[in-house]
Amino acid sequence: MRLMKFLGAFGFGLFIMSNAQAALNIEITGGINEGRKIAVLPFTQTADVGIDVASVVSADLMRSGKFSPLSQSQIPTGVFDGEKVNADMMAGTGAEAVVFGKVYPDGNTYQVEFLLQSLVGENKGQVIAHYRGASGLNTMRQAAHRVSDRVYEKLVGQKGAFRTRIAYVVFRHGAKFPYQLMTADYDGFNEVPILKSTEPIMTPSWSPDGTKIVYVSFENKNSAIFIQDLNTKQRTRIASFKGLNSSPAWSPDGSKIAMVLSKDGQPDIYYYDVNTRAVQRVTADPAIDTEPNWSADGRQLFFTSERGGRAQIYKFDFNTRTTERLTYQGQMNLSAEPIPGTNSVIMITRHNGYRVARMDEDGSIYMLTTSNLDESPSVAPNGSMVIYSTIYQGRKGLAIVSADGRFRANLPSTSGEISSPAWGPLLDK
């Protein structure tokens, strides 16, 4: 599907941009009552904090598809004494745990503190997680996401991905520079413009350390692949061969960037060595090969190919130097990305339109969305959620679906049409 986008462009203009505010909203479309029940009590905080920390935490947990937070009306009056929650009073709610905390000034910063109390089992009534950390008012949302990450990790057993960033492309009709590369928190807040251009920008991909983005831009009347350093603002062109230069994807160890080039004939898969700057060919087939994505260990490349007559998912193994076809069901399957920690992949399948689907190890395919023009899925680094581009209310925008299909939400933009989402890596700090 990405290949169809590369139809040519003319002229050039580009400008490196500075910070801006959020331009994405969240509209829930389904699945909020199917997860594990959890209660998030209002945090004790002053008005100057600016955001409702508990609301951010509750929304994060809900979007993962793993949890169904209780509404405040479902929480019994007087259940909290300021230190602990009365587990017996909460028994009728069905919640397995409760989150509560406070935000208070501490010198020039604020302390964000939370406790997670179990409501079931042998730990009923006990605090099973406690965290306190400093935050400024301008980073309070990130602090709230950190709370969500800690709660998610304690209850699910894997790292949360709520403090991650996404990249995407915004198109504004009639603007002087209609194409803009943006980053934002995973939920659309804290939007930051990276660059803008008179010509198309496409298919961004994050470096594993989150400091760089590789992307496609049409300059000098041809597609070219660039690396943008988010800290230094420096950008480096790494591929501008005659013909197609498209679909860059950074390897998990950061040493290589897979890409699609047509410099030797038909579009095939290559990779760029970040250290040596050499370009190595991976596939050589008369058909079109496109949309490469790395396995978690970097030993395999998933890609879309028409070598079987229609677009299907294939996998190239660097150890055996062999290529295996993975999908046979349906008219068309493309844009595959493996789910970290599993043998499943997220992809776009043609089924009454183009929809986000999950294919498990046994070949079973599960539809995750009900829309009919989805594209460019990108999986959260913990495998819990998928962000993708879709048509919503007549405009191209982003949407999120949990990897199990339990939760769906649209992220309509107030500033233009949005495409090519890419989920950034987990943050350790």
Per-residue pLDDT tens over the stretch 57-109: 999 998 888 999 999 999 999 998 888 889 999 988 999 999 999 999 999 99
Report the alpha-carbon distance of residue 315 to residue 293 in Å, rounded.
Answer: 9
Topology at the third CATH level for domain 2-26+162-423: Neuraminidase (2.120.10)
The lowest-confidence range among 8-12, 358-362, 392-396 is 8-12
Q: Residue 19: its pLDDT value, please?
A: 40
Query: How much is the average pLDDT of 414-425?
Result: 90
- Is the pLDDT confidence value at 337 over 70? yes
Q: Residue 308: its pLDDT value, please?
A: 85
Report the alpha-carbon distance of residue 316 to residue 320 in Å, rounded.
Answer: 9
Report the alpha-carbon distance of residue 56 to residue 206 in Å, rounded.
Answer: 25
Instruction: Place 26 in a pLDDT band, splitting at 50, 70 and 90.
Output: low
Report the alpha-carbon distance of residue 358 to residue 363 in Å, rounded.
Answer: 10
Query: How much is the average pLDDT of 199-221?
Result: 94
Instruction: Place 28 in a pLDDT band, splitting at 50, 70 and 90.
Output: low
- Is the pLDDT confidence value at 15 over 80? no
The CA-CA-CA angle for residues 363, 368, 374, to 5°, reads: 105
Q: Residue 331: its pLDDT value, please?
A: 86
Q: Residue 285: its pLDDT value, please?
A: 92
Query: Tokens 């989920």 label which residue?
Result: 423
Report the alpha-carbon distance of residue 75 to residue 98 in Å, rounded.
Answer: 10
In order of 51, 79, 118, 153, the CA distances from 121 in angstroms are: 33, 19, 8, 18
Domain boundaries, the chain: 2-26+162-423, 32-156
Q: Is residue 271 within 8 Å of residue 282, measured between CB atoms?
A: yes
Query: How much is the average pLDDT of 347-368?
Result: 93
> Over pLDDT 90: what percentage of the chain?
76
Q: Residue 24: its pLDDT value, please?
A: 61
Q: Residue 429: its pLDDT value, please?
A: 57
Query: How much is the average pLDDT of 218-227?
Result: 90
User: Which CATH number does the domain 32-156 belong to among 3.40.710.10, 3.40.50.10070, 3.40.350.10, 3.20.20.150?
Assistant: 3.40.50.10070
Highest-pLDDT range among 247-251, 326-330, 369-373: 247-251
Of 411, 335, 341, the C-alpha closest to 375 is 335
Per-residue pLDDT tens over the stretch 130-162: 999 999 999 999 999 999 999 999 999 999 999
Q: Residue 273: its pLDDT value, please?
A: 97
- Is the pLDDT confidence value at 13 over 80? no
Query: Tokens 């899925």 label which residue?
Result: 377
Read off the pTM.
0.89
Q: Is residue 152 within 8 Å of residue 164, measured between CB atoms?
A: no
Q: Residue 420: its pLDDT value, please?
A: 96
Higher model confidence: residue 425 or residue 410? Answer: 425
Q: Residue 317: its pLDDT value, please?
A: 96
